Amino acid sequence: MTFPVFDAVAQRQPALAHFAAMGIVVLQCATDLAESRANVRSQVREAACEFLAERYQIPTQSVNIVSAAGTQPTCRIQFPDLAPKVLFMSISHEKGLSLVGLSEEVPVGVDLLVVGEDFDFEEQQAVAQLYFGAAVAADFAHARARRLNHHDLNLPLKPYPKQPLKQPLKQPLKQIDTYAEQFALRWARLEAQLKCHGLGICEFSEQREQALSKCKAYRLDLPSPYLGVCALQIA
């Protein structure tokens, strides 16, 4: 199963309906490959502000994205006659595409990667040992050696605890059939979970894993060659 992603422009109305019903939405924004990162960041934040302004029926100037180095951004919604509302937010960029995760109730983290063919097994196996732990690194090594897909490397794609829309939002999970995709999916999950907790990248430890166990991770429904994960805090 995959978690739905909505185009911030072309699928605005379905995205608004999903957000109103679920309190969580992931938007995708297509960007120019030649655009500078600073311009991409500005465009994506503008798209998020426009989306939230329409959701809450307020001017875009009443949506303020607050961020500081080393922390997750948040959205402050200013209403004319009500107390301000603060939303959880997470953003991830790759060339040509950006993701924005928005949540009304729980912390959210999103991460986006491009799966390429220039994959160095020895280098990434060392990375797996450092950041995923010995057990997962061994699983990757065995999977590569046997050319098998280990189902335990896939994400637990259970429905989000809040009541879903009446129409199921589940779609078939695209089979992960390469080592590079398995590694990228595991890395994206780690990054998304760390963002969900407001943590920077850090090596494997039992303490880290205990903290990250409070997040549920969902693979995002994205076009190839992009791969992404959304993490939501559940405790």
Indicate the residue type of 138.
A
| Average confidence (pLDDT) over 29-46 | 94
> Which residues, 6 or more positions from 61, have their beta carbon under 8 angstroms from its beta carbon?
none
Percent pLDDT > 70 in the chain is 84
Enumerate residues 6+ apart whose C-beta is below 8 A from 93.
31, 37, 40, 41, 44, 99, 112
Query: What is the average per-residue pLDDT within 57-65?
Result: 97
Closest CA to 26 of 81, 88, 70, 69: 88
pLDDT digits (tens, 9 = 90+) for 98-115: 999 999 999 999 999 998
pTM of the model: 0.83
CB of 77 within 8 A of CB of 87?
A: yes
The reported pLDDT for the residue numbered 71 is: 80
CB 182 within 8 A of CB 140: yes
d(CA 18, CA 217): 18
For 41, the token pair is 């960041």
Nearest CA to 162 out of 85, 234, 74, 76 is that of 234
* Identity of residue 41: R
Q: Looking up tokens 């199963």, which residue turns up?
A: 1
Position 219 scores a pLDDT of: 95
Cβ atoms of 49 and 74 closer than 8 Å: no
User: Residues 111, 98: contact at Cβ < 8 Å?
Assistant: no
